[in-house]
Amino acid sequence: MRAAVIGSGFGGIAAAIRLAVTGVQVTLFEARDQPGGRAYVYRERGFTFDAGPTVITAPHCIEELFELAGRQMTDYVEMLPVLPFYRLVWSADGTTFDYDGDREHMLAQISARRPEDAEGYLKFVDYSRKVFETGYTKLAHTPFPRFSDMLRVAPQLAALRADRSVYATVAKFVKDEHTREALSFHSLLVGGNPFETSSIYTLIHHLERTWGVFFPRGGTGALVAALIALFTELGGELRLSSPVERVRVIESEAAPRHLLTTAARTDEEFD
């Protein structure tokens, strides 16, 4: 069986690896000159710049891909724990905040700014856990092929006030402005606006406290390279600078055939 995966971002690479592990002959198409998608890397005058994500917050998800192939991720890339997770700096007044997974350390910093916010922070931690349990543990691995499937989980999301923004939700728990910003900036990491992005993103606080924050030695590009190395070892083929312009489905009595047309105007058939 031949399969095509369009796009070599983390999702595309992961799908390609999962298919290759089962023995499927996989071709991974990428429009740009290197794999990675949002994790694109720029190199200039001996320097390397990650254009997208710079930290990994759930490394076990990536480790699973190597384990499926009977490999160890540590043989391909080294993941370094980051402490603190983030250092926030407010240039206007020189304030700094070391954001990490140590509850007592977080409480000490928050209390130093406004003692009354300590209790609010603990309530926020509990809220973040509940959002994580629903939005990540229960729903992240649940497919929603039909609109009715989405409607069934609507009450759960409503109970968590997913209609509120991240910032508005955090503001319900703490009053100091710097603390509010420190607990609501995560949506910026995915290009979201904390004042508009759904409060579901508050689950990241619990996620990071549970699994930590990691940095691949060599940058995110090193992680992409490790995944591509695994993919090619499994017999997969990576096609760079090959944007797919059209997919045609040709019905037949045996099974439908899929023709992919690339920018080079060539057609290839896949199952």
The average confidence (pLDDT) of the chain is 92
CA 45 to CA 259: how far, in whole Å?
Answer: 41
Dump pLDDT digits (tens) for 204-244.
999 999 999 999 999 999 999 999 999 999 999 999 999 99
Q: How confident is the model at residue 176 (pLDDT cuts 50, 70, 90)?
A: very high
| pLDDT for residue 150 is more than 70 | no
Domain ranges of the chain: 2-80+216-270, 85-212
Answer with the residue of higher pLDDT: 12 or 143: 12
Which contacts of 131-135 are long-range, i.e. CB under 8 A and separated by 24 or more positions?
Answer: 131/160, 131/199, 131/200, 131/202, 131/203, 131/206, 132/203, 132/206, 132/207, 132/210, 134/160, 135/160, 135/162, 135/200, 135/203
> Please, what is the Cα angle at 62 between 231 and 106, to 5 degrees?
155
CA 194 to CA 201: how far, in whole Å?
Answer: 9
| CATH code for residues 2-80+216-270 | 3.50.50.60
pTM of the model as a whole: 0.87
Q: Which of 200, 140, 148, 150 is CA-nearest to residue 170?
A: 200
The pair of structure tokens assigned to 85 is: 């997770």
The confidence score (pLDDT) of residue 149 equals 66
CA 257 to CA 157: how far, in whole Å?
Answer: 40
The confidence score (pLDDT) of residue 121 equals 98
CA 40 to CA 194: how far, in whole Å?
Answer: 24
CA 262 to CA 245: how far, in whole Å?
Answer: 5
79 with 216: CB under 8 angstroms?
Answer: yes
Q: Which of 211, 166, 170 is CA-nearest to residue 187?
A: 166
pLDDT, mean of residues 80-94: 96
12 with 21: CB under 8 angstroms?
Answer: no
The pair of structure tokens assigned to 164 is: 């509120």
